Homo-oligomer: A and B are copies of this chain.
Amino acid sequence: MTPALLDTLREITTATITTMLLKKGIRRCWMSGPMPLAPGGGRLVGPAFTLRFVPVREDLATPESWGKPISTRAAIEAMPEGVIAVADAMGVTSAGIFGDILCMRMVRRGVKALVTDGVVRDKAGVVATGLPTWCRGTAAPASVNGLTFVGWQEPIACGGVAVFPDDVIVADDDGAVLIPKDLVNFVAEEGEEHERYESWVVSEVERGVPLPGLYPPNDDAKARYEAWKKT
């Protein structure tokens, strides 16, 4: 992804992105569950780095397992700068996948954000690290209380959406959406124009124009919009 493309995408709301993807027949792109732990922090864009958990098995998911080769710690060390970590926690809300220490290390490595359909633990600590986090909330227990970590950079499920490594994630106060990597350019182009059009509609509604015929536009509205664009 070029810096210019990143800049363009950062100006397109997640709401608009879902509308652009619907034009391509894609309805399953908004993740149900991940919402900003600290709302109001703006929009972030980056390629997905995936993490995968399965349910706890008491003989495997123990504090000792944190030292094994396949561990959340090892996964974090494999994350390149600029990615958005996306963790499939199967929607489990009773075990926090990461706490302040792991989030602090992710910040150190230049990870842009954490997105999960599960929860984090030690809320105050995680917020203090400054790692932008989209999740379902907070729980005190560690991941090993309910989950077993099994790998990274595999296809995963997150909040009802299939995520493949290198798909693009965009997250803001309306949640997190996925753009399939082959559709990133399409979304950037169409989305930019769509945002422009909606800003014109807003100005029209502000001056009292009713919605029918305006949004979506009839021929008259289209003409007025084209005229406005030239100003």
The range of chain A's interface size is: 35 or more
Q: Tell me whether chain A's interface is mostly helix, strand or loop, or mixed.
A: mixed
Q: Is A153 an interface residue (CB 8 A)?
A: no
Residue pair A77, B205 in contact (C-beta under 8 Å): no
**Chain B residues within 8 Å of A23, by CB:** 63
**Contact string against B for A residues 96-135, beta-carbon threshold 8 Å, 1 for contact and 0 otherwise:** 1001111011001000000000000111100000000000
Q: Is A6 an interface residue (CB 8 A)?
A: no
* CB interface residues, A 174-225, toward B, < 8 Å: 174-175, 177, 180, 182-183, 198, 201-202, 205-206, 208, 210-213, 215-216, 218
Residue pair B59, A27 in contact (C-beta under 8 Å): no
**Chain B residues within 8 Å of A64, by CB:** 216
Residue pair B28, A57 in contact (C-beta under 8 Å): yes
Nearest B residue to A123 via CB reads B173
Residue pair B101, A215 in contact (C-beta under 8 Å): yes
A65 to B210, CA, bound (A): 17
Residue pair A101, B211 in contact (C-beta under 8 Å): yes
A15 to B22, CA, bound (A): 26
Residue pair B28, A211 in contact (C-beta under 8 Å): no
* 16 examples of A-B residue contacts, CB within 8 angstroms: A22-B63, A22-B144, A25-B25, A26-B58, A27-B58, A30-B140, A35-B138, A56-B162, A61-B162, A67-B213, A73-B210, A94-B160, A96-B174, A101-B201, A101-B202, A101-B205
What 16 new A-B contacts, CB under 8 Å, besides A18-B140, A24-B58, A30-B141? A15-B140, A15-B141, A19-B141, A30-B94, A55-B160, A55-B161, A56-B162, A57-B161, A57-B180, A67-B213, A67-B218, A101-B211, A138-B173, A138-B174, A139-B175, A154-B154
